[in-house]
Amino acid sequence: MGIFDRFKQKKASEEKPKPTVSKPKKSAKDLATERGEPWVNILSIEIDPENIGNGAFELDWNDIFVAKLVRAGYKGKDDAQIVDQWFQTICRNVVLETYEQYEANNTNGLQRKDLGNGRTEVS
């Protein structure tokens, strides 16, 4: 092997790009946890094809979220039960709000008059 051949080999090895190690992107959960913020997210929703009214939600959360729920009075034997209790509360509130809106819009001929101080006259 002559000098020219060694130069070509050295030159070829110098031209090879160095492998770069990229850091994996941090998830929203990781970023919230680093900031000390509670985090919860819906990962998926499954619908029962036989009964469209039935389904399930898959949730993910960080420990800070669970700690906040515990401080707010939610209880359970594990984190999943605590988060499930919270999610049921959210769903219940949506139903109640929808029902209250329905009732407010569906007076069935009743007249309501706001009298102030939290009082209403119905006739």
State the pLDDT at residue 102: 81
d(CA 67, CA 36): 11
According to DSSP, residue 55 is labeled E
If residue 45 lies in a helix (H) or strand (E), which one and from where to where? strand 40-47
Report which of 44, 81, 83, 46 is spatially closest to residue 62, judged by C-alpha positions: 83
Q: How is the chain split into domains, by residue range?
A: 26-122
Prediction pTM value: 0.65
| pLDDT, mean of residues 91-101 | 89
Amino acid at 1: M
> Tell me: the pLDDT tens digits for 19-65?
777 788 999 999 999 999 999 999 999 999 999 999 999 999 999 99
Could you tell me if residue 59 is left (phi over 0), alpha (psi between -120 and 50 degrees) or otherwise beta?
A: beta
Angle (CA) 78 53 99, round 5°:
85
Lowest mean pLDDT among 4-8, 20-24, 68-72: 4-8
